[in-house]
Structure 1
Amino acid sequence: MRLLAITLLLATVSAAPLVRTADAASQTPSDMHAAVATVHYRSTKIQGLSVFYREAGPVDAPVVLLLHGFPTSSHMFRNLIPILADRYHVIAPDYPGFGQSDAPDHKTFKYGFGSYADIIDELLSGMGAKTYAMYVMDYGAPVGYRLALKHPERVSALIVQNGNAYDEGLGEFWDPIKAYWADGSSTHRDALSGLVTLETTKFQYTDGMSDISRISPDNWIQDQALLDRPGNKDIQMDLFYDYRTNVPLYPDFQKFFRDRQPPTLIVWGKNDKIFPAEGAHPYLRDLPKAEIHMLDTGHFALEDKLDEMAPLIRDFLDRQAAKR
């Protein structure tokens, strides 16, 4: 019987996705726990919409909120979540129009960053999350920072990965989008169609990466399948236009940084053309104690540099969020 139990245990561990490439013999107990962490895939009704989220970890542990970017979903955190779940209550939602959340017609639902912040606020309130560390990336930055303006006292820490809050971070890539902001014309809207094509989606995952062989093609295949759903192009065009409403809030975001001084870790893909390195360094003006790491990778840094980022994130959270 003992031999059977050992055999079953070994089979369970070997079947689980490993979060590191180290041999089993060199893994710590924490590594092994992360390798078999249970992630729950849930949905809840908010404002009449089904909002999907991934959840893992002890429900009474410090909350870590993971806010995804464009054009992906909570799927971008699939490998990070188990690494954090032994000590943290990890929550990673999909915004409406992304991932597994509802995607109502853009004529019946106002897609925008203010709406997203309100929905995430309701999700967290419903789950009883009174404080939370936030990991913000790309679209997740204005969503998270709007949430912080609503409840500044609830933000225990920030992890910033290629998420902008400064004018310096809106470089050449944004010029066609800024032209759309200027007049909202159908001509400039149509000119952005290339941003929702497979070519651009793949570009976001591969450009600037130090080792493309680390990046699963499943990423852009899955994201593109969701972008190609009927009506989703209009959703994304509405969001490109609404992004303009974040820029006037930059001074408010920066005031939040200065006033609250949340412990902050910046882990930034320095080769990103969408949110380039020029957007990372200005954080230090308002958060002089922030820890900053410029990584040799691109937009979706977790796909390429998880082995470097995960220890930085764990160490930061263990020193900052766990004690709050």
Structure 2
Amino acid sequence: MNRLTTQITRLGLAAVLAAGLMLPAGGAKTAAGQVRSAPAVLHKTVKVDGIDIFYREAGRRGAPVILLLHGFPTSSQMFRNLMPALADRFHLVAPDYPGFGNSAMPAVDAFDYSFDNLARVIDSFTQKLGLDRYSLYVMDYGAPVGFRLAVKRPERVQALIVQNGNAYVEGLGKFWDPFRAYWKDKTEANAKPLKGFLNLQATKWQYTHGTRNPESISPDTWTVDQYFQDRPGNKEIQLRLFYDYGSNPPLYPAWQAYFREYQPPTLVVWGKNDTIFPAAGAYPYKRDLKTIDFHLLDTGHFALEEDGAEIARHIRRFLTANVD
């Protein structure tokens, strides 16, 4: 099999897997007992500052907007089941960051892979789509992207949905020690252990650790994520972001000041068995926010995989009560 055929086969496999991931968990039943299809999730691309940004969109324009910001090492595919579950009531938009998923992947010498710049691109993306008011769902990398956005444009944020997204030093435990070493001294020796987080076994671990039943997690999740990570040049992108994650803890006081001043209604739905962002990082939100609905779930980092239906119910109830 020549190189071109191999590449086509790999792309075909990724497309098949992604298609499987996009299938809704199931339709609702009508009063007559007939199965009604789940609302459609559309897959679109828009050019933002010269970069092709892929995004998923579901729901009716004019309905309350939820801007869904994904984590590492995934993309908007992490929201593939949540979006149809809420599309009857909300307008949901989930972009892929540059270098992730189906968005463009400029080389590291052509694009600044930093959280400041990812937030800038997402800010431009929201303006391009005319999203003037929205609730923010932030998870993992989505927190530093989303909280930068909230501080810059507080008038646009109607509510926060925080799912294993950190804003407090209490949430950075021993897992982060090798990252701290890299932030302090950016050497090849300190980068070496971080490269271990970029292989298939590590990606699978992110999905399965802390879950009640690892066998309930589809292997398509980590297979698709790893496909995108294994593209030539992507590991260099991820190392840039590993290093730049060190820019986030110094901003925690500013994010906390935003919470205290603007008091966005906040729903916390947190996989309490997460090793990366443990529950110790969830509790401090209670210090700064008055309107907070707080739920620790008996699952891991990617809580939507095991408790997506419960999270969807919490979101529906919370936003219906707190957002016009």
Q: Same fold (TM over 0.5)?
A: yes
Give the CA deviation at 1:28: 9.8
Q: What is aligned with 2:258?
A: 256
Whether the aligned pair in 1 keeps the contact of 2:26 and 2:38 (CA below 8 Å) is: no
The equivalent position to 2:217 in structure 1, one of 195, 215, 218, is 215
Structure 1 residues 232-261: Cα deviation after superposition (integer angstroms, max 9, x where no partner):
110000000011111111000000000010
Whether the aligned pair in 2 keeps the contact of 1:43 and 1:53 (CA below 8 Å) is: yes
Residues 1:102 and 2:98 are matched in the alignment = no
Whether the aligned pair in 2 keeps the contact of 1:167 and 1:279 (CA below 8 Å) is: yes
Structure 1 residues 214-243: Cα deviation after superposition (integer angstroms, max 9, x where no partner):
211000000011111101110000000011
> Using the alignment, how far apart are the partners of 2:178 and 2:67 within structure 1?
31
Residues 1:63 and 2:65 are matched in the alignment = yes
Q: What is aligned with 1:141?
A: 143
Q: Which moved more, 1:110-119 or 1:72-81?
A: 110-119
The aligned runs of 1:30-41 (5 Å cut-off) are 35-41=37-43
Q: What is aligned with 2:206?
A: 204
Give the CA deviation at 1:190: 2.2
Question: 1:25–1:87: structure 2 CA closer, same or farther, 3 Å change rule?
Answer: closer
Structure 1 residue runs of 4+, over 6 Å off? 25-29
Whether the aligned pair in 2 keeps the contact of 1:41 and 1:52 (CA below 8 Å) is: yes
Give the CA deviation at 1:298: 0.1
> Using the alignment, how far apart are the partners of 2:193 and 2:314 within structure 1?
39
Whether the aligned pair in 2 keeps the contact of 1:19 and 1:79 (CA below 8 Å) is: no
Q: What is aligned with 2:10?
A: none
> Using the alignment, how far apart are the partners of 1:26 and 1:215 within structure 2?
31
Question: 1:61–1:28: structure 2 CA closer, same or farther, 3 Å change rule?
Answer: farther
| Structure-2-length-normalised TM-score | 0.90
| Structure-1-length-normalised TM-score | 0.90
Give the CA deviation at 1:208: 0.5
Q: What is aligned with 2:11?
A: none
Q: What is aligned with 1:225?
A: 227
Structure 1 residues 20-66: Cα deviation after superposition (integer angstroms, max 9, x where no partner):
7x8x478999xx66x42111111111121111000111111111000
Question: 1:26–1:197: structure 2 CA closer, same or farther, 3 Å change rule?
Answer: farther
Secondary structure of the 1:303 match is: helix
Question: What is the one-letter code of the residue matched to 1:184?
Answer: K
Identity over aligned pairs, percent: 56
Aligned residues: 302
> Using the alignment, how far apart are the partners of 2:193 and 2:248 within structure 1?
21
> Using the alignment, how far apart are the partners of 2:272 and 2:25 within structure 1?
27
Q: Which moved more, 1:35-44 or 1:228-237?
A: 35-44
Whether the aligned pair in 2 keeps the contact of 1:19 and 1:83 (CA below 8 Å) is: no
Structure 1 residues 283-309: Cα deviation after superposition (integer angstroms, max 9, x where no partner):
111013311100000000000011221
Give the CA deviation at 1:320: 1.4
Please list every run of 5 or more consecutive structure 1 residues that lacks an aligned counterpart in the other structure.
Answer: 1-15
Secondary structure of the 1:128 match is: coil
- CA RMSD in angstroms comes to 1.7
Question: 1:154–1:17: structure 2 CA closer, same or farther, 3 Å change rule?
Answer: closer
Whether the aligned pair in 2 keeps the contact of 1:132 and 1:154 (CA below 8 Å) is: yes
Q: What is aligned with 2:116?
A: 114
Give the CA deviation at 1:267: 0.3
The equivalent position to 2:186 in structure 1, one of 179, 184, 197, is 184
Question: What is the one-letter code of the residue matched to 2:224?
Answer: Q
The aligned runs of 1:1-324 (5 Å cut-off) are 17-19=24-26, 24=29, 35-321=37-323, 323=324
Q: What is aligned with 1:7?
A: none
Give the CA deviation at 1:270: 0.3
Question: What is the one-letter code of the residue matched to 2:63?
Answer: A
Give the CA deviation at 1:69: 0.2
Q: What is aligned with 1:8?
A: none
> Using the alignment, how far apart are the partners of 1:210 and 1:308 within structure 2?
15
Whether the aligned pair in 2 keeps the contact of 1:63 and 1:89 (CA below 8 Å) is: yes
